[in-house]
Structure 1
Amino acid sequence: MKKNFNFQFSVFKCLVFFFQFSAFSFQVAYSQVKFENPQINSEGRYLFTVSHQLGGTVSYKTLFMADAGKSEATRILTCFPERMEMLSGGAILQVRNRYGTARYSVADSTLSWIKREDSIPADAKAMLSQAVSPDGKWACYVKKTDAATGKLYLRNMSTLEEFLLNDKCDFDYDQVPAKWAGDGSVFVYEKAGNIYFGDPKAVQQKVQMEESFRKIGEGSINCVTWASSKYLIYINRDLVYKISSKELYTRGLYSQVVGVGIVIGRLPIPFDGRKDRFWVNSLINQIVTINSNSVISSYKVNGTASSYFTSVYSKPFKDIKGSPVNYDVFFCSDGSQILWVNLIGLNDGKLNSTVYRLSSELKELNRIENATRPLLSPDGRKIVFASQKVAYIYDLGTWLELGRLGGEKVYSYVWSNPSLLYIGGESTVREWRAEEKRFAKEGKMLFLSSARTAFWKPNAENVVCAQSAINKATFYDYDFFKNVWQASADDSRTSFEFMKKAEVDVYAVQNAHYRVYTGRTDNKLYDNALYIRDFAGMGKSYPVYENTVKATGERKKVSLIFDALDSAEGLTHILAVLASYDIKATFFLNGEFIRRYPQECKQIIESGHDCASMYFSVTDLTEKGYIIDEEFIRRGLARNEDEFYAATGRELSLMWHAPFYKANKAIKKAGEASGYRYIEAGRLALDTYTLEKAADGNKWYLGAKDLVKLYVDNAEPNMIIPVNVGLSDGTRRDFLYEKLSLLIGNFLDEGYEFTLVRNIK
């Protein structure tokens, strides 16, 4: 296998080149980076907004200020909360977005940027996760080194000093392979298929014990969780261990004698750290597992090492209205659990969440449409989530609403303490406090996330006023010293009149020395560019950002297609990932898939994706013994159309490929005569290669992360990448669809835009 890899890699590169379909694409309307609303005052200070509307990323407007007479960096006046973390025991609110990292000081109400982009990025990279310690003093994160791997670091969040923990680990946009104890005194991390623990202070002081003495056991980071600050729970197949945080070093030194911890019982179903999840309450007398994203099991912990846990509930999850994407489990004081299930609707394709109380039975509490992921409060008694431009607080035990904060779409939130929340919305970042037992009806605005437009107030040259991104009647004044905003001193009617007076022209504004305006650019990655016209001397015009006017071609495009032959195993995960990136794709459906999974077919089409044909039967059309003529192909395609229409009430797109991508010229010509365009990507369908085929020597095998790296390293404009929805026969260790988020994130990082395959020629 290994010795043939270089040859196979070279062959793959040739195949990528061959199947580009001439590197030409239809002209498709797509949004880019756009400069808007330039405004200049008499002193040469000017304002402008930049909007990013790129597929796969969050869209918002950012407000900037600069000085035409100075070359210093522009100042960012708004701060969009793509990600937020609480630092320094609640003293600092950290906000991260495409422009960098800013920190809000709670004590003096000041916002400052600690890291930021010097230019306007054309491509917004996916935001990376950070595992921040509960006390906010430390964080673990992975620095990407290639498409599928990275380096795991520990960072001191005060000094920003970094310490390497693992020089080669799996890279993931959504998860960091590290977990913190409740008091932040110790953490566990995954390395080379093993779990280790670490002390952040010892790491910083370089007195950390050798790693071999800090090994907990084999497994992934999903095999461990902190029940409390005092105890770590570790699962090795069916055995469940309890490890005291105070005894970690002792057990590490004498693990061969005393073992890795105290066995507290056994699971009747062996735990697989690659695909299973588990939760434990703080008293360590309850444990809940989710096996293969389907079987929900709740157990009582007996404390007897040799016995199985007492089963309270164990059933496959089933909901006639949707298919499960993922789960969250929260423990109540009465011994029950709150089970939060995120689903994709079978009939409408919409994302929704269902909340259950789990005890000896599963009782539905309510359904929430398009909800964000719930976050537990530090005291374990409340959770926060958002839906339909409203953030909600619920009491966990009673599942009664404690408060709601509305007005704008919510993108992030973080607890500072059990009675204080920070809510990051599309227009503002707000502080939300509890009043006695309930949360306040209104939050306190800290600073603006985004602004519709901004202007200099008349007769007050250094006063900036911004119009709310979501409410045209709301205006805010900027505090130059603290870099934050407050409600305008003028009433909305007066502010609106000021704004109209300030709008000299939507394209150009000038004073006695300069004119600032938006104009055309040869850079196809930007909709326009921002220019300064200097009237001094001979006079000249120049772009504010040089990179925005450098000539480039159109944005590179890539297309994902999904092949559904006769298995729907990965469909829910695929639809959820595509929805999270707001990407539309094309699914090629075989007749066998349509007959087996009519509801899933409707789920695909209602999720907004294209559906095309993979013929009506699971047949190798090139096998000897078949008499393939135009009539045979026409009938097979027509039958697939009819069955799809019967299942969904919709028509298939007029594109197809044969099962297994096995077709000759005659077959393709017959499909063309039926009005179909043939999509060729079979030689790139590498995730169909199974271990059995590899053992026979007929195919070469690569795991999912290696496939991602292969595709990314050999990326070309107009590349078509086929992804299998599920295998009908044979086995694989993992599947490409399981790494779909990694694949998409990498292509976004490389500046690609995802488009439907019908736009690739």
Structure 2
Amino acid sequence: MRRIISLFILLLTLSVLLPAQQRKLEFISPDINDRNEIIMTVKLPSLSGNTYRTLVRGRADTLALEALTLFPEKSFYFPSRNEVMVYNHFGCYGFDGDNGNWQELNFMPSFSSGQPISPLSLRTLEMSPDGRYAAYIREDEENTASLILYDRDMQVSLTVTSRLKREYLEKIVKWAPDSKYFIYRRGRDLYYFSIEQYQSGRIPAESFRNTGFKDMQSVQWKAGNYLYILKERHLYRIHSSEFFTRSFYSEPFRRGTVRGRLPVNYDPVFDSYVLNDGGTDLFLIKNGQYGMVIPLAYDIESPEAAQTPLINLGSDNEILSAEWLENDILILLVGSRKDGKSTLFRYEDRKQPFFLPLRSGSFSGLSASPDGSRFALFTEDSVDIYKAHEDTAVNSFSHNEAMQLHWGSDVYYSLGKKTIRTLDPLKGSSRVIGLSQSDAAGFNAGGDLICGIGDNQFRYDEALSWIPLKDDVEISGAKNTTKEYRIYLENLRGGWYSSSLKVRNIESYYTSDFIPPFHSQFSLEVPQQLRPDSSSNPWYFDHGQSTERKEVALVINAVDSAEGTARLLKTLESYSVQTTFFINGDFIHANPMETKIIAESGHTVGSLFYTWFDLSAPGYQIDKTFLKKGLARNEDDYFIATGREMAMLWHTPGYYINSEILETSASMQYVFIGTDIPVQDRINRINAPTYNAVEEAEQLLLRIKPGSIISLTLGEEAGQNEYLFQMLPMIFDELVRNGYEFVDLQDMMQSSLY
């Protein structure tokens, strides 16, 4: 045994080293001018991976609100309309490239229409490539949702399907290139929708539109309106014109034409792929660990053996982007988790089967042109344009922190973290057409709204238009009072908003919220009798007290399989959830790379004993010596693999417990972590195919109480297609919706001491 630490020092030390990080909406720098116009910056910790600031404006008398900066959490471009669309938590906004005007698009509930700023994932919105149709999710009652199709030209909407489960893991809609069809999903089942059938009023019943395929991660649309489906080792192809006929047949008659075979199984839960336009080559990313090019149309009559390139990502790298260009050129952007640097690779010749590194640096992304002849590389301060075959940029445009690029016929549209610009490839110049966020804002002496970004200033000119200023303008100090109104920030405890901006009418003595509160902000406390009694044993902890707040903690058990580790860690980072991993020796030995990744992720790591077995089975003799040796061995194995120590927290396989286990915990200064919610997330091989992770997540949500410890298992199980740990975005969203906060387990333990 390497060290013995008292419980008090353990909790104090870990709570200092690993403070709980809560996602909170912040209101910053409110100001009011003599016209009773209020401005304020809203800081939103977005789940898309970017925390951004939105400048909002409203009136004290009417409380009418609007967002003035447009952060591109998601964006679209419609060449036939020359229109750019920006979509974020505040609403949907369109820029007309022909007349240079912005306007808010009001076919969805938005901030300006009185919708509270949500802490949840960005609501699903997928636009048809021609820009006419919007397919989006509308939340309904009874914890369900509907898929809505909105026709922007006719200004009418249609409910495509309803009573959907609230689980937003992947895209729910994928449009065909010609905008005449889209695929959508209910659970894992995929259905088609025909715009022609909709326009003619002949929409078949949903049961007749089932494609027979599952998993949105398995399908991709390509040129010619072909839908490709990757299932296990086979790639199938179906033309959209075949949907109606095939939907009347059952397996195996509607699988489609086989276009290729893979050397390994494709798992839609943990793998992903990128297909070239011709459907002849496929780039497979296997469990986020390595990528390989697979020629699907290789000539089997060729006398020569074929080689294909493989890139091993190791423990510190991830593929940020993969794009196919013309002539079957593949470019990859691989990023390092350690130093944030990225490397650009290219593969273009089957006779030279390896990825050629082109350059390394602080690159944040890339974008391929629709015809594949060019691609854009985003650096810290520029957007560099390359031809597919060349290593030297043909254009370089100054644009700090660019995120997305859309390829117009005359100009490119570059959307960054601070500004939205047009890039002119002929003139080599750029122009600001919108602001994504601001560094500072306020009113000048004349009451005009001024926004500062770096060394540049802009004056607001209505309709989301900002005019760059040649000379610096002095911004007046922020005010909180006019003749009619007074504004002030009131701090809030718990919930999504960190504070509320109050608007007080001095004459009528009436006070209002400037921004509508999220409906769970002031959720009622769960009655005292619903909380479980706490344990009197200081070496056993299975729930917190949570007498003042609705708090829960999350623990992840790593038993043997490491599939899904990278995606899980990214989800935890997006939601700012600090968790505790319990790792056993089997996992450490089988997955040393993933063990190291978890150790370096900043989450707490406890012990799950040195191996996984049923301690209650009569064939095992469990005594204190056996338990001590098992704990010590796991400590040593973890230290050898990572160079780090485990926390003095543990639990047995299956949470089996008896008096001898608790006595051993106390003698070794270990705290046994239990759970007050039994979870079924590992199923035997016979029942695995019928396991429904969404339904299990819903049952879990019904059992959660303030102070609960939610325990999930990482990895895959033979025959199982769905996993509860994949449902974490759904679980996080629903708990936040109901006023819960996630706290670090050590913080929950420490607060329970008092």
Of 583, 587, 600, the match for 2:581: 587
Answering whether residue 560 of structure 2 is matched by residue 573 of structure 1, we say no
CA separation of 1:53 and 1:613: change in aligned 2, threshold 3 A: same
Do the aligned residues in 2 keep the contact of 1:163 with 1:203 (CA within 8 Å)? no
Q: If the length of structure 2 is used for normalisation, what is the TM-score?
A: 0.79
617 and 216 in structure 1: CA distance in 2 versus 1, 3 angstrom threshold? closer
Asked whether 1:203 is paired with 2:198, we answer yes
Per the TM alignment, residue 432 of structure 1 is displaced from its structure 2 partner at its CA by: 2.8
Moved more, 50-59 or 198-207: 50-59
Report the Cα offset of residue 484 of structure 1: 1.7
2:433 alignment partner AA: L
The residue number in structure 2 matching 1:100 is 91
Aligned equivalents of 2:739 and 2:361: distance in 1?
32
SS at match of 1:450: coil
Structure 1 pair 405–621 and aligned structure 2 pair: CA distance change class (3 A): farther
Q: Deviations over 1:118-174 (max 9, x none)?
A: 558464221134332222222334445699975444332344533333446676535
Q: 1:60 to 1:556 in 2, by over 3 A?
A: farther
CA gap 1:443/1:516 in 2 versus in 1, 3 angstroms: same
Give the letter for the 1:36 counterpart.
I
Look up the match of 1:712. Answer: 701
For 2:477, the equivalent position in structure 1 comes to 503
Provide the rounded CA distance (Å) in 2 between the counterparts of 1:476 and 1:328. Answer: 36
- AA aligned to 2:93 is A
**2:233–2:266: 8 Å Cα contact kept in structure 1?**
no
1:228 deviates by: 1.0
Is 2:492 the counterpart of 1:518? no
- 2:715 is aligned, of 726, 732, 737, to 726
1:680, CA displacement in angstroms?
0.8
- Does the residue aligned with 2:700 lie in a helix, a strand or coil? helix
- Give the counterpart of 1:446 among 416, 424, 433: 433
Candidates 53, 70, 85, aligned match of 2:76: 85
Aligned to 1:544: 514
Inter-partner Cα distance in structure 1 for 2:516 and 2:320 = 45
The answer as to 2:608 corresponding to 1:607 is no
Say whether 1:46 aligns with 2:38.
yes
**Is 1:299 paired with 2:284?**
no
Q: For residue 25 of structure 2, what is the aligned residue in structure 1?
A: 33
Matched, 1:75 2:75: no
Instruction: Check whether the contact 2:584–2:610 (CA below 8 A) recurs between aligned residues.
Output: yes
**How far apart are residue 587 of structure 1 and its match?**
1.2
Could you list the per-position Cα deviations for residues 661-704 of structure 1 after superposition, in whole angstroms to 9, with x for gaps in the alignment? 22223313422332322211285342123235x59xxxx98432
2:748 maps to a residue whose letter is I
Residue in structure 1 matched with residue 357 of structure 2 by the alignment: 365
Q: What is the rounded CA distance, in whole Å, between the counterparts of 2:497 and 2:84 in structure 1?
A: 32
**2:423 aligns to what SS in structure 1?**
strand
Asked if the contact 2:22/2:576 (under 8 Å) is kept, the reply is: no
Could you tell me how far 1:433 is from its partner in structure 2? Answer: 3.3
Letter in 1 for 2:713: N
AA of the residue aligned to 1:680: G
Q: Which runs of 5+ in 2 are unaligned?
A: 1-14, 526-547, 750-754
Which string of whole-angstrom CA distances, capped at 9 and with x for unpartnered residues, describes residues 23-79 of structure 1? Answer: xx99967463333323232333232223334788743222232333x2241233222
Moved more, 590-599 or 414-423: 414-423
Following superposition, the deviation at residue 338 of structure 1 comes to 0.9
Q: TM-score, normalised by structure 1?
A: 0.78
Q: Which amino acid aligns with 1:138?
A: Y
Task: Return the alpha-carbon distance in structure 2 between the equivalents of residues 531 and 457 of structure 1.
Answer: 23
Alignment of 1:225-244 (within 5 A): 225-233=220-228, 243-244=238-239
Aligned to 1:648: 642
Q: Is the 8 A contact 1:231 1:243 kept in 2?
A: yes
The alpha carbon displacement at 1:203 in A equals 0.9
SS in structure 2 at match of 1:38: strand
Inter-partner Cα distance in structure 1 for 2:339 and 2:710: 23
Specify which of 307, 318, 332 is matched with residue 340 of structure 1. Answer: 332
% same residue: 21
Partner of 2:464: 483
Cross-structure match for 1:17:
none
Q: Does 1:754 align with 2:749?
A: no
In 1: Cα distance, 2:561 partner to 2:426 partner = 52
Paired position in structure 2 for 1:422 = 413
Q: 1:166 to 1:285 in 2, by over 3 A?
A: same
CA deviations 1:409-450 (Å, max 9, x no partner) are 44x5252536643333332222233237xxx4x532122222
Kept in 2, the 8 Å contact 1:377–1:418? The answer is no
CA-atom RMSD in angstroms? 4.3
* 8 A contact 1:562–1:586 mirrored in 2: yes
Give the deviation of 1:655 after TM superposition.
1.6
Residue identity opposite 2:488 in structure 1: Y
What is the DSSP-based 3-state SS (H/G/I as helix, E as strand, rest coil) of the residue aligned with 2:355?
strand
Contact 2:311 2:355 in 1 (8 A): no
Contact 1:630 1:667 in 2 (8 A): yes
Question: Would the alpha carbon gap of residues 119 and 672 (structure 1) be closer, same or farther in structure 2, given more than 3 Å must change?
Answer: farther
1:529 to 500, 503, 509: 500
Kindly report which structure 2 residues correspond to 1:115-264, keeping only aligned pairs within 5 A, or say none.
115-117=109-111, 121=116, 123-143=118-138, 150-167=145-162, 172-173=167-168, 175-190=170-185, 197-208=192-203, 217-233=212-228, 243-244=238-239, 247-248=241-242, 263=257
2:424 to 410, 433, 437: 433
Deviates further, 204-213 or 81-90: 204-213
Cα drift, residue 339 of structure 1: 5.0
Q: Residues 154 and 617 from structure 1, CA distance in 2 versus in 1: closer, same or farther, beyond 3 angstroms?
A: same
Cα distance in structure 1, aligned partners of 2:503 and 2:676: 52
Give, in angstroms, the shift of residue 278 of structure 1.
5.1
SS of residue matched to 2:587: helix
CA positional deviation for 1:211: 6.5
SS of the residue corresponding to residue 488 of structure 2 reads: strand
Contact 2:326 2:371 (8 Å CA) reproduced: no
Confirm whether residue 466 of structure 1 aligns to residue 451 of structure 2. Answer: yes
The answer as to whether partners of 2:559 and 2:612 remain within 8 angstroms in 1 is: yes
**Secondary structure of 1:84 counterpart:** strand
Q: How many Å apart are 1:296 and its aligned residue?
A: 3.0
Contact 2:261 2:296 in 1 (8 A): no
